Structure 1
Amino acid sequence: MSAATTPAGERHQSIDAVRGFAVLGILLMNIVGMGLPSFAYLDPTYAGGAEGADLWTWAASNVLVDGKMRALFTMLFGASAVLIAERAARSEGGLGPAQTHYRRLFWLLLFGLAHAFLAWYGDVLTLYAVAGLLIFPFRKLPARMQIALGAAILLLLLTKNVWMSGQIEALRAAALAPGAAAETVQAWRETSMTISPPPEAKAAEIALFQGSFADAIQARANLLGLFYAFLFPTEMLPEAVGQMFVGMGLFRLGFFTLGWSGRAYGALIAFGYLVCVPVTAWLAWLIWKSGFDPLTLHEMQVWQQLTRPFIGLAHAAVLLLVVRAGVARGLVGRLADAGRMAFSNYLMSSVLTSLVFCGYGLGLFGELSRFQLLGVVAGVWAFMLGWSTPWLRRFHYGPFEWAWRSLVQWRLQPFTRRPAGAAAAAG
Structure 2
Amino acid sequence: MTNYQPVAQTERIQTIDILRGVALLGILLMNIQEFGLTEASLHQLVRGPHGGNYWLQTIIHALFEHKMRALFSMLFGAGIILFLAKNRTGAGMATPELFIRRQMWLIAFGLVNALVLLWFGDILFHYGIVGILLFPFNRLPARTLLVCAVVVGLIYSGKNYWNFAEQKQKYEKYQTVVALEKKNKKVKLTDEQKDDKSAWEGIVKGAKYDQKADKADIIAMRSDYATVWNHMVPKIQSMEAPFFYQIILWDVVSMMLLGMALFKWGFFSNRLTTRDYALLALGGLLIGQTIAWLSLPSYELKITNISKYISTSVVPLAEVLMPFERGFTAIGWASLVLLLYRSGIGAWLWKALRAVGQMAFTNYLMQSVLCTLFFFGYGFGYFGDLKFYQLYFIVAEIWLIQLVFSVAWLHYFRFGPLEWLWRSLTYGERQPMRLTPPAPLETPILS
- 1: CA distance between counterparts of 2:106 and 2:261? 23
Aligned counterpart for 1:292 among listed residues 304, 328, 331: 304
Could you tell me which amino acid in structure 1 is paired with residue 326 of structure 2?
R
Q: In the alignment, is the contact (CA less than 8 A) between 1:88 and 1:95 conserved in 2?
A: no
Say which of 351, 355, 364 aligns to 1:346: 364
Give 1:182 shift: 1.2
The amino acid of 1:404's aligned partner reads: W
Does residue 1:118 correspond to 2:116, yes or no? yes
* Equivalent residues, number: 418
Per the alignment, residue 392 of structure 1 pairs with 410
Greater shift after overlay, 294-303 or 20-29?
Answer: 294-303
Pairing of 1:28-427 with structure 2 (within 5 A): 28-38=29-39, 43-45=43-45, 51-88=50-87, 95-119=93-117, 120-176=119-175, 177-179=178-180, 181-192=193-204, 198-288=210-300, 292-294=304-306, 296=309, 299-305=316-322, 306-421=324-439
Work out whether residues 14 and 256 of structure 1, in 8 Å CA contact, stay in contact via their aligned partners in 2.
Answer: yes
**Shift of the alpha carbon at 1:12?**
0.7
The 3-state SS of whatever aligns with 1:361 is coil
**CA gap 1:124/1:40 in 2 versus in 1, 3 angstroms:** farther
CA deviations 1:287-323 (Å, max 9, x no partner) are 4578733464993430441311110110000111222
Superposition deviation, residue 162 in structure 1? 1.8
Distance (whole Å) between structure 1 residues aligned to residue 10 and residue 335 of structure 2: 24
In structure 2, C-alpha distance between the alignment counterparts of 1:154 and 1:73, rounded to whole Å: 16
- Other-structure match for 2:445: none
In 1: Cα distance, 2:339 partner to 2:23 partner = 16
Deviations 1:211-267 (A, max 9, x none): 001122222212112223431101011111111111111111101001222222222
Equivalent position of 2:13 in the other structure = 12
Separation in structure 1 between the aligned mates of residue 341 and residue 172 of structure 2, nearest angstrom = 53
Q: Per-residue deviation at 1:46?
A: 8.1
Give the 3-state SS of the residue equivalent to 2:304 in structure 1: coil
Q: Which runs of 5+ in 1 are unaligned?
A: none
Structure 1 374/291 Cα, relative in aligned 2: closer, same or farther at 3 Å? same
Contact kept in structure 2, 1:104 and 1:408, CA below 8 Å: yes
For 1:404 and 1:193, the matched residues in 2 are separated by 45
Cα distance change, pair 330–256 in 1 and its aligned pair in 2 (3 A)? same
> CA 1:5–1:245 in structure 2 vs 1: closer, same or farther (change >3 Å)?
farther
Q: Report the Cα distance in structure 2 between the residues aligned to 1:93 and 1:345, rounded to whole angstroms.
A: 27
SS at the partner of 1:111? helix
Equivalents in 2 of 1:92, 1:106: separation in Å? 16
**Change in 2 beyond 3 A, CA 1:383/1:92:** closer
C-alpha distance in 2 between matches for 1:264 and 1:282 = 27
CA distance in 1, matches of 2:224, 2:332: 42
Distance in 2, matches of 1:136 and 1:290, equals 38
- Deviation of 1:196 after TM superposition, in Å, equals 5.3
CA contact (8 A) 2:223 2:378 kept: yes
**2:87 match: secondary structure:** helix
What RMSD, in angstroms, separates the aligned Cα atoms of the two structures? Answer: 2.5
Residues 240 and 393 of structure 1, relative CA distance in 2, 3 Å threshold: same
Is the 8 Å Cα contact of residues 5 and 84 (structure 1) preserved in structure 2?
no
The answer on whether the counterparts of 1:16 and 1:336 sit within 8 Å (CA) in structure 2 is yes
Q: TM-score, normalized by length of structure 1? A: 0.91
Q: Once the two structures are aligned, what percentage of the paired residues are identical?
A: 32
**Taking structure 2 as the reference length, what is the TM-score of the superposition?**
0.87
CA distance in structure 1 between the aligned counterparts of 2:46 and 2:342, rounded to whole angstroms: 43
Q: Shift of residue 341 of structure 1?
A: 0.5
Q: Is the 8 A contact 1:6 1:84 kept in 2?
A: no
1-side partners of 2:274 and 2:92: how far apart? Answer: 38
State which structure, 1 or 2, has the greater radius of gyration over its C-alpha atoms.
2
The answer to whether the Cα contact below 8 Å between 1:131 and 1:241 also exists between their aligned partners in 2 is yes
